[in-house]
Every structure is written in C-alpha cells, then in structure tokens.
Amino acid sequence: MKVIEHFKRAESTLFSIEILPPVKGSSIQSVFNGIDPLVEFKPAFVDVTYHREEYLIRKGRNGEYRKVLTRKRPGTVGISAAIKNRYNVDTVPHIICGGFSKEETENALLDLHFLGIDNVLALRGDSLKDERVFVPDPDGHYFASELVEQIVSMNKGKYLDDKIVKPDPTDFCIGVAGYPEKHFEAENLNSDLQFLKHKVDLGAEYIVTQMFFDNTKFFQFVDKCREIGITVPIVPGIKPLSTLKHIEILPKLFYTDFPEPLMAELKKCKSNDDVKAVGTEWGIAQCRELIEHNVPCLHFYTMGKSETTRRIAEGVF
Ligand code: FAD
C-alpha cells in the first residue's frame, strides 16, 4: 500500500522506521535483527536509506597510489524487497540524484516497479566526502525536484526513450525531505520552503523532516508550510539519542540544535547508557507532544539500532 494511503486510513498517529542497508559483507540478518524488536509496534512502512559511493586510496601493482570508487552499503533495492517479503510491510527505498544518471535512475525505478514496491523517497543526496559542493552525475539530476519530475513522468508512462510503444506506467507514491531548521545550503528558511513547495507542486505527496529535538521548530515549520500553500502530510523525523558520540556528531552532520534543557542533561552523561536514559525520556516527551498535535506518523531514524526506539515506542504507543 502507498504511504499516502496509510495516512488517509489511519485513525491515530502511525509508527514508521528508517534503516540503513548493511555494510558490504554483513548478512541480511543484521538488518532483520534491527527490525525484529520493533515489529510489535506495527510499523506502517520501513524506509531504506541509500548511500553514495566513496573514494578509497588503493596501492596499484607498480606501487603507485590511485583513487578507486567503492560502495560500502549497496543493495537498497534488494534489501527493500527482502524486508517487504519477510515482514509483509511496505518499504520506502530512498532514491538519490548523486551518482546516478537519469537512465540508471529509470532502471532502478523499473526494478522497484517489477518488485511491486510503489513508494519512494526522492532526495538529492549529499556531496561525496571530498567534494565541497554537490556535483551531479553529468547526465543526472542536480536537485531532488528534477528527480520528482522524472518519477512523475514515469507514473504517466513517459520514459527517457519516448519511442517506446505502449509504455507501462509506474505508480509510485513520492515522498520528499523537509528541514524544520533549514537545509544547510539554503540561503534562508523562506527560500528553502519555496523549493520544498516546488517539489510538492511537481507531485510529491508527503514530506518527512530531518531530525529535530525542539518541537517548537517543527510546529513553526509546519505553520510556514501551510501559510505558503503546502497542504500534504508532514511527518516528523525522530532521532533516538543513544551514544555519547551522538552528542558530538548529530549537530555537525544534521545541522540540528539541542535545546538547552536537553543539552543540560546530556552534559551530565558519562556513558552510552546515561545517554540512552536521557534520549528515551526526551524522546517520549517529544513524541507525546507531537501526537497531541495530531502528526500523521512518527518516523524513527533507527540507523539499524532498535533499543532506544523500542523504549520510546513503549512509552508512547
Ligand atoms: P533538494 O530538495 O534538492 O535541496 C537541496 C538544496 O538546494 C536546499 O538547500 C534547497 O533549498 C536548494 N534548492 C532546491 N531546489 C533549488 C533550485 N531549483 N534552485 C536553487 N536551490 C535549490 N541522503 C542520502 O544520501 N541518502 C539517504 O537515504 C537520505 N535520506 C534522507 C531522508 C530524509 C528524511 C532527509 C531529511 C534527508 C535524507 N538525506 C539522505 C540527506 C539529503 O540527501 C541531504 O540533506 C541533501 O543535502 C539534500 O537533499 P534534498 O532532497 O533535500 O535536496
């Protein structure tokens, strides 16, 4: 079923999760181990992230060093199908612009279509680690909006090769990303919101937000979206805090603020268990308030680790 159908049919706030494909060499069981403890909360859908290629420096036969491209977490299409089959749950593979030509995007979407996966989250993707700005594939898309356009075209039966006779239209429900604290590259929140509206106007049917810890920012973001005419469901992204490392890296990687009261508690933490306790308490309070505001769904960034998500879900569902 399409994500948007889940929202239409729901009588209360839904639960959904996002997982990472396993690193190359790990078994699919490592993914299932991260989902199994959350199944009792009946996730409406499971998102599977996509990870860009990375450059590695390798020593060649003649002792010279060269840059080679590698992907540490391949397999989004296969993982999405495996999760769908095992749990009978809808999966939402993430499709990104970076590293893909339009033709490769078309082929990936066709694989999903053949597998009966009819949800995608359309994203630009981040730049490569050693690139200061995002560089698209020479025949790829620069912005997520262009990717939305390509998927909408396929939903209308328009493929890149317009000479295909009687093309089979796809039927994807398209989600896109939104940023309550502004995308880090955007000139300001208003321009970011206008570009978000553009993605929706082109055919995106719902928005999932970047993680945030301050509900006030989410509520203001939703109000601003509504003011400019964005009417689609907006799903808050929840990050369960569970390690000391999270305190250091999350604001840097995701450009999100820790509100003062949360930071005061995090500063007292000496171990990962301390962070889990603080993260659980904060997450429960945050989610309860979001539910009171009738959000359509709480989307948990589990990153394959279920413990704190489970504790929060126990406290709110
Ligand atoms: P866009 O919507 O293209 O926006 C990118 C920037 O360009 C913004 O600053 C926007 O304001 C600006 N912009 C947009 N259109 C225009 C225009 N026409 N002219 C000028 N400026 C414009 N990354 C991954 O690599 N893999 C994932 O699986 C993944 N999953 C994610 C899931 C969620 C829910 C979220 C919130 C993010 C995810 N990301 C993922 C990260 C995301 O790819 C990055 O944040 C990326 O930098 C921006 O992606 P976007 O789709 O929001 O881009």
Other beta carbons within 10 angstroms of residue 41's beta carbon come to 20
CB under 8 Å to 134, separation ≥6 — which residues?
98, 124, 125, 126, 127, 142, 185
**pLDDT confidence band for 71 (50 / 70 / 90):** confident
Ligand 1 atom with minimal separation from the 134 CA: 47
Q: Is 18 a catalytic residue?
A: yes
Q: Which atom of ligand 1 is nearest to the CA of 179?
A: 36
CB 287 within 8 A of CB 314: no
**Which of 5, 18, 64, 131 is labelled catalytic?**
18
Mean pLDDT of the chain: 96
Pairing of strands 54-59, 65-70: antiparallel
Q: Is the CB of 149 under 6 A from ligand 1?
A: no
Q: Tell me which residue has its CA closest to atom 16 in ligand 1.
A: 195
The pLDDT score that the predictor gives to residue 74 is: 82
Specify the ligand 1 atom closest to the Cα of 52. Answer: 25
The string of pLDDT tens digits covering residues 135-174 is 999 999 999 999 999 999 999 999 999 899 999 999 999 9
The span from the CA of 16 to the CA of 304, in Å, is: 13
Is there an atom of ligand 1 within 6 Å of 317 CB? Answer: no
β-bridge pairing 119-123 and 54-59: unpaired
Task: Please tell me the distance between residue 267's alpha carbon and the centre of ligand 1 in angstroms.
Answer: 31
Task: Give me the pLDDT at residue 13, please.
Answer: 98
> Regarding predicted confidence, which is higher, 58 or 116?
116
Is the pLDDT reported for residue 244 higher than 90? yes
The pLDDT, as a whole number, for residue 55 is 79
Length of the chain: 317
Domains of the chain plus CATH, in order, are 3-316 (3.20.20.220)
Residue 73 has pLDDT above 90, yes or no: no
Q: What is the pLDDT of residues 248-267, one digit of tens each?
A: 999 999 999 999 999 999 99
Q: Which is more confidently placed, 112 or 52?
A: 112
Reading the block at residue 216, the tokens are 């006030």
| Residue to mutate, 46, 143, 151, 253, ligand 1, most ligand atoms under 8 Å from C-beta | 143
Question: The pTM is what?
Answer: 0.97
CA of 164 to the centre of ligand 1 (A): 32
Q: Is the CB of 124 under 6 A from ligand 1?
A: yes
Q: What percent of the chain has pLDDT over 90?
A: 89
